[in-house]
Amino acid sequence: MSGINEQAAVMQGCLPFSCWSTVAPFFPTLRREQVRIVVQSRTVATYTYWIGMPAVTVYGDTNVCVPGVLDVSGFVRRNFWSWTDPRGIALWGHEIKHVEQWLANPAAFVWQAAWGITRSLLRGKVYDHSVIEYEREAIAFQRHVLETLMHRG
């Protein structure tokens, strides 16, 4: 059974307002409707788990989520997801940052992905965040969100 956030995302096709309100202050030029959400079927989620994919993957303006991750406050596939804990909010901010990056310049995003994956493979990894420009930017943004939220207390 899916939770309330997942049900709202499926019905609306975008991030539910209750979730958006936690990250909106960090995205002054982005609208909630621009952050599309697709929830994987259980079958697809099982497959993506076995091949090592993360709980949330961004394709263009769409966050593709495993079932349940929109409503959890805890670890899913090695990452801490939550809409109430600063660590989880910062992680969602990282993923939504990718949507913002895509919307700003899709061609640059695709180029950075292709070049970054090539560089990753040359290092013996499939996907090395440290050599992909948009990932480094999103990681820095995630740290900024976390630090800001932690200082608010």
pLDDT tens digit string along 56-73?
999 999 999 999 999 999
pLDDT tens digit string along 99-128?
999 999 999 999 999 999 999 999 998 888
With a cut of 90, say whether residue 27 has pLDDT above it: yes
Model-level pTM?
0.91
Phi-psi region for residue 13, left (φ > 0), alpha (ψ -120 to 50) or beta?
left
Structure confidence at residue 1 (pLDDT): 54
- φ and ψ of 125, to 5 deg: -120, 155
**Domain span at residue 12?**
4-152
Assign 147 a pLDDT band (cuts: 50, 70, 90).
very high
Structure confidence at residue 47 (pLDDT): 87
Structure confidence at residue 92 (pLDDT): 96
List C-alpha distances in Å: 38 to 16, 52, 98, 148. 12, 19, 15, 28
Rounded to the nearest integer, the mean pLDDT of the chain is: 92
The Cα–Cα gap between 77 and 22 comes to 22
Tally of domains within the chain = 1
